[in-house]
Amino acid sequence: MGMVAELERRQSAMELHIINSIQQSLDNNQPLSFQALASLRSLIINPATPDSTLSSVLDALSRSLQLNRDPVFLHHALKLLSDLASHRPHLSPFALDLLRSDSLFSSASPRLVGESLSVLLSLASIGNDIDAARFVSLCLGPSVSVRQCLLRNAEKLVFRESVLLAVFLGFTRDPYPYVRKEALDGLVKLCKNGDFDDRDVIEGCYCRAVELLRDAENYVRSAAVRAVCEWGRLLVICSEDMNKQDSSDAVFIQLGCMVRDMSVDVRLEAFEALGKIGLVSEDILLQTLSKKVLGINKDKAFKPVEGLDISASAVAGAYIHGLEDEFSEVRMSACYSLRTLTVFSLRFACEALNLMMDMLNDDSTVVRLQALDTIHHMATSNHLKVEKIHIHRFLSALVDSSSVIRSMTRKILKLAKLPQFKLFKLCIDGLLGNLEIYPQDEADVFSALFHIGRNHGKFTVHIIEEVSPEMEPASGGKLSFDSTRVAAFLVLAISAPLSHEKDVSAIPPRIFSYAVTWLGRISYGLSDLMNQEKLLAYLSECSRSSTISLADFKINEALLTVESDAPIPLCSKVDSPVSMPFWKDSGGTSDYHHQEFLSLGKSAAHAEYELGEHSELRKYVNLIFKKVKDFWSLVELGCTTEAFKGIRACKEEVASFTADSPGSSGAVAFTLQYLQVIGMLAKVWGHLRPTKMLNPYGVGKLELLFAKLDRRLREISNRFIGLSKGEELQILDLVLVACLLRLSKMEICCCNAAMKLLLSTVAHVEYLHKEGSIELSNFVTEVKKSLHDADSSSSSSTCKPLLFKKLLDSFSLQQFVLYGTPRYIHAELAVPSNDSENPLPFIPGIPASIPLAITLHNVLTESRLWVRISMSEESTQFVFLDLNLIRNEKRSINVVREFTFVAPFYRTPKAISFTVRASLGLECFRENIDRVKVFGGPKCELTYLCPEKEIFLCKSTEC
């Protein structure tokens, strides 16, 4: 204790001494010696120095700055100030003020200015210190390093795009290669964030970038490749519709020329860029897989921009070269970018598959894995056509020494649909071989066998017939032969009854009883499909009769159609395909999951069971969301029809799902709803966004579209419970986009309402943001910012279509990731024994009673439900349904309520018979009704939970 005090005393004495000596020399108008500066520095970086001392240090520095203008001294002073500002955040304002003083920041020496600028930048406190004119004049100065620093940080200094564009474009002519590189990088950033629709500018930048593809320096060429890609994409967007394909092809070819560059970095960039150009015609794609120039491309030349002619032959064999590149990074990047392109053409996918199969022989594991991932991707997008010559090569991956490779291969096999028995047999043999060499894979091999058997019922039966002697117990009643092998065949056999094919019931029932003896191991392998009890039930059921009807057996429900599962996320980010893979499932949310189930009053065991079952489905659903994101980029490119096609295909895929297993319906319904929202959004977007084209739809039609979109959005945001905050935020993003779209179109904009909704949504977003500490998307931040700006600038700022249009540019669809299991709120409404033949009785003028049999799914007690009964548009009435008053007749685990509710219908007409339409609506709290309030009706907009039910009434004859 005493020693510490002693030390402190000594230190403060030393500080005092330093400060005093400095003060003294300053009082004598002597500049500070370097030694003094050094001791000052020691004070500054010592964390024990008290603030009071530092204030006097600052004071001394500011005085000495006025005294001394020697550049070397100024340089040291600058360093001291920057140290001070970074070590003591609370003193940094004073330090920064000094930095900005005349002698440093505004000094005539560009080097000092550059240094102080980089200090200011590193402290992230550049404000309005530098205006456009000063920026430009500094850039134009002779100091190259200052120029480079300024260019690199230009976007932090926020200027008008036009200034930045001029500066960046100009400096692509600089004789210093690093300046050229920074200028190109700047152009890329500008292109990503900016809003350009002047074709001259776009062409200018594109051409300049193309010129720099031939630069002597590697890093300039890499930057040029990026710039060509980004500006090229912009060029495609701004092309007229009939030229879009051609310009897109031309940009693709231009980038394809770079895959033979001698620099690895350039090649990497080139493949990355190739994958980003979405729309490429099939001929060109096929050309990339052949080093010989294809006949069809012999004389094909493109001219995207005047003076930039390029021939299709330039891209010949681009992928061949990429896939046999010396560097595994390049090979991986090539595999990855192929993956995105196979979506567009089946023929291309088939040819690419050939190459991918060859890549399975690659010496690098990551490349092999990426190749398998690409194949898996093809399989999930239905572009996988396995042929016999492939199957050997493919199956050899099953005996690969790397377990990741093997598991990925099995994953693909689970999806396979094989046309011939021969191929099927080869696959089974391959799996058996796998099992033999790597017994540790047993569980997954069983799972693969089960899936593959289920997908090929007839073949399975056939193969079981062949091997049944092997499976019969030898003398002594023991299954002794080759235990694991027999087990494998048993797994295959028991999958047959679940096949989707007809008449596959030829598996002898005793096989199922044999399987029971392996119950533990088999159920371990099939744990992703069913638990042990279920399996046992299933097996005993099957062993009892040879012809079982699965209709009354509930197993099929439990077995979700595992048509697909999400591929292993090989690459953590889409932008960098060469980042090392991580083999971690994107799960890790089970805690959240758990809670959700518990809150719904379920037993934990049940929740756990469901969890296992649904992870498969969730993976699949998330894969769909991933695809949707890809489609959205097509929408942004202006190819709405193509995107729409894709979305529709997704919808069909999701719809084909057997959704009746408990809990899965929510996820399926949610996905469908999401697809519908995106579809509508794409439709509206397609009609509002491209200004080049005349809107084919009139305002009226557009209004209808908007109404539909609103309804969909309302449904998705209100009819699902159990969404996490992050998920909810993503949906709110979409609501915001819809609002902005509406606001950006003057003709259809009902300004106040839309603005109100916008504001309330933003408020809700903010609330969620605060609650859950979730990162907001860039788009939302933009919207918030500009709303805030608009708010503060003027009050009459509500309708600014241009502002909203600009905001829309910052929107990019994020990939939706479903973590939990959303519950779908829906209801069934029926009137027992009522049809046009058997109408309900009524007496004209007197209220009629309508008995409604209502089933509610997942409706929370606190939600406000309304029964809407309408005869015509004018005579609509709402009846409030108080859930607290309703006795829950049958409380089930699924939170299903069934009850009968007698609704009165007041305004019966004077007629002999009439029909009314009834439906159930849920009040959405966030959206207030804009129109004149219906007396006694709901205060907010309703989301309808069931289709309208027609009810027939007839004048009572009894009275």
Partner 1 sequence: MAIDCLVLGAGQEVGKSCMVVSINGKRIMFDCGMHMGYTDSRRYPDFSLISKTGDFDNALTCVIVTHFHLDHIGALPYFTEVCGYKGPIYMTYPTKALAPLMLEDYRKNMDRRGEDEQFTSDHIAECMKKVIPVDLKQTVQVDKDLQIRAYYAGHVIGAAMFYAKVGDAAMVYTGDYNMTPDRHLGAAQIDRLQLDLLITESTYATTIRDSRYGREREFLKAVHNCVAAGGKVLIPTFALGRAQELCILLEDYWERMNLKVPIYFSAGLTIQANMYYKMLINWTSQKIKETYATHNAFDFKNVRNFDRSLINAPGPCVLFATPGMIVGGFSLEVFMQWAPSENNLVTLPGYCVAGTIGHKLMSGKPTKIDLDKDTQINVRCQIHQLSFSPHTDAKGIMDLVKFLSPKHAILVHGEKPKMATLKERIQSELGIQCYCPANNETVTIPSTHYVKADASGTFIRSCLNPNFKFSTHSSTDKSYLDSNKSKAVSRLSVSDDRATEGILVVEKGKKAKVIHQDEILHMLGEKKHEIQFAYCIPMPMARTEDLSSTSHMLCGFDKSTLISRLSMILSDELSEGNILDLGEELQVESFRVSVCSSDNCPHRLSSSLQNGSESVFFCCNWSVADEKLAWKIISIMKNSTL
Q: Which residues bind partner 1 (CB under 8 A)?
A: 139-142, 147, 166, 169-175, 200-201, 203-205, 207-208, 216, 260-262, 291-292, 305-307, 316-317, 320-321, 323-328, 355, 358-359, 361, 363-364, 392-393, 396, 399-402, 437
In the complex with partner 1, the residue whose CB is nearer, 206 or 670, is 206
Strand (E) or helix (H) holding 952: strand 949-955
In the complex with partner 1, the residue whose CB is nearer, 433 or 581, is 433
Distance CA 87, CA 49 (A): 11
Strand (E) or helix (H) holding 924: strand 913-928
In the complex with partner 1, the residue whose CB is nearer, 322 or 663, is 322
CB hemisphere CA count around 524 (13 angstroms): 10
CA–CA distances in Å: residue 274 to residues 248, 343, 680, 820, 906 = 11, 14, 30, 35, 67
**Please, what is the minimum distance in Å from the beta carbon of residue 291 to partner 1?**
5
Strand (E) or helix (H) holding 867: strand 865-870
Helices (H) and strands (E) in the chain, counts: 38, 13
**Please, what is the minimum distance in Å from the beta carbon of residue 755 to partner 1?**
38
**Please, what is the minimum distance in Å from the beta carbon of residue 512 to partner 1?**
35
Task: With both helix axes pointing from N to C terminus, report the angle between 110-122 and 92-99 in degrees, rounded to the nearest 10.
Answer: 160
**Which residues are 922's β-sheet partners?**
865, 943
In the complex with partner 1, the residue whose CB is nearer, 358 or 728, is 358
Contact present, 524 and 559 (Cβ < 8 Å): no
**Please, what is the minimum distance in Å from the beta carbon of residue 121 to partner 1?**
21
Contact present, 560 and 360 (Cβ < 8 Å): no
* Residues contacting 908, CB < 8 A, separation 6+: 842, 843, 844, 845, 846, 847, 848, 914, 953
**Please, what is the minimum distance in Å from the beta carbon of residue 263 to partner 1?**
9
**Please, what is the minimum distance in Å from the beta carbon of residue 221 to partner 1?**
9
Distance CA 16, CA 848 (A): 96
Distance CA 255, CA 782 (A): 33
In the complex with partner 1, the residue whose CB is nearer, 217 or 898, is 217
Sign of CA dihedral 571, 576, 580, 582: negative
In the complex with partner 1, the residue whose CB is nearer, 223 or 355, is 355
Sign of CA dihedral 381, 382, 386, 392: positive
Sign of CA dihedral 219, 223, 225, 226: positive
In the complex with partner 1, the residue whose CB is nearer, 266 or 492, is 266
In the complex with partner 1, the residue whose CB is nearer, 397 or 920, is 397
Written as one letter, the residue type at 16 is: L
**Could you please report the per-residue DSSP string of 17-65?**
HHHHHHHHHHHTTPPPPHHHHHHHHHHHH-TTS-HHHHHHHHHHHHHHH
In the complex with partner 1, the residue whose CB is nearer, 159 or 327, is 327
**Please, what is the minimum distance in Å from the beta carbon of residue 70 to partner 1?**
24
Distance CA 181, CA 947 (A): 60
Tokens 């309520």: give the residue: 897
In the complex with partner 1, the residue whose CB is nearer, 59 or 324, is 324
* Residues contacting 563, CB < 8 A, separation 6+: 415, 620, 653
In the complex with partner 1, the residue whose CB is nearer, 17 or 173, is 173
- Locate all alpha helices (DSSP H) within 383-508, ordered by sequence: 388-396, 403-415, 421-437, 442-455, 457-471, 483-495
Contact present, 834 and 840 (Cβ < 8 Å): yes
Tokens 């970095």: give the residue: 265
Distance CA 591, CA 820 (A): 10
**Please, what is the minimum distance in Å from the beta carbon of residue 204 to partner 1?**
3
**Please, what is the minimum distance in Å from the beta carbon of residue 57 to partner 1?**
38
**Please, what is the minimum distance in Å from the beta carbon of residue 140 to partner 1?**
5
Contact present, 212 and 172 (Cβ < 8 Å): yes
**Please, what is the minimum distance in Å from the beta carbon of residue 200 to partner 1?**
5
In the complex with partner 1, the residue whose CB is nearer, 390 or 614, is 390
**Please, what is the minimum distance in Å from the beta carbon of residue 411 to partner 1?**
19
In the complex with partner 1, the residue whose CB is nearer, 392 or 933, is 392
φ/ψ bin of 863: left (φ > 0), alpha (ψ from -120 to 50), beta (otherwise) = beta
**Please, what is the minimum distance in Å from the beta carbon of residue 462 to partner 1?**
26
**Please, what is the minimum distance in Å from the beta carbon of residue 410 to partner 1?**
17
In the complex with partner 1, the residue whose CB is nearer, 257 or 504, is 257
570 Cα distance to chain centroid: 15
In the complex with partner 1, the residue whose CB is nearer, 128 or 401, is 401
In the complex with partner 1, the residue whose CB is nearer, 188 or 942, is 188
**Please, what is the minimum distance in Å from the beta carbon of residue 547 to partner 1?**
43
**Which residues are 762's β-sheet partners?**
none
Contact present, 57 and 40 (Cβ < 8 Å): yes
Q: Is 452 exposed, middle or buried (0-12, 13-18, 19+ CB in 10 A)?
A: buried
In the complex with partner 1, the residue whose CB is nearer, 323 or 428, is 323
**Please, what is the minimum distance in Å from the beta carbon of residue 111 to partner 1?**
14
**Please, what is the minimum distance in Å from the beta carbon of residue 134 to partner 1?**
16
Distance CA 406, CA 423 (A): 19
